[in-house]
């Protein structure tokens, strides 16, 4: 099961270069969580989604409340 999850993550293309998990536009996280990006928001396009697993490469940008 774990092997399947890792294999899936290795196929996730992502253009968020600022994320610590991004390696040449591929996600290297073992798994990711994606959610709607706003409170009480109707999601009907990719703009309404956000990756909850995002971790900034620049450690000074980490939100201590998250
Ligand atoms: S964790 Fe999310 S934002 Fe970061 S590389 Fe993976 S898919 Fe992209």
Q: Determine phi and psi for 35, rounding to 5 degrees.
A: -135, 170
62 vs 66: CA distance, rounded Å: 8
- Ligand 1: residue of 19, 31, 58 to mutate (most ligand atoms within 8 A of CB) is 19
The Cα–Cα gap between 64 and 6 comes to: 28
Give pTM, 2 decimals.
Answer: 0.73
Angstrom distance (rounded) from CA 7 to CA 56: 23
> Which residue from 9, 13, 20, 22 has its CB within 8 A of the most atoms of ligand 1, so it is best to mutate?
22
pLDDT in tens, the chain (66 residues): 444 555 554 689 999 999 999 999 999 999 999 999 877 767 888 888 999 999 999 876 665 555
Contact 32, 49 (CB under 8 A): no
């Amino acid at each position: 099961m774990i092997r399947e999850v890792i294999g899936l993550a290795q196929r996730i293309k992502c253009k968020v270069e600022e994320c610590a998990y991004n390696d040449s536009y591929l996600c290297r996280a073992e798994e990711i969580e994606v959610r709607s990006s706003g409170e009480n928001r109707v999601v009907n396009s990719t703009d309404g989604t956000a990756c909850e697993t995002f971790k900034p490469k620049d450690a000074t940008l980490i939100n201590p409340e998250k």
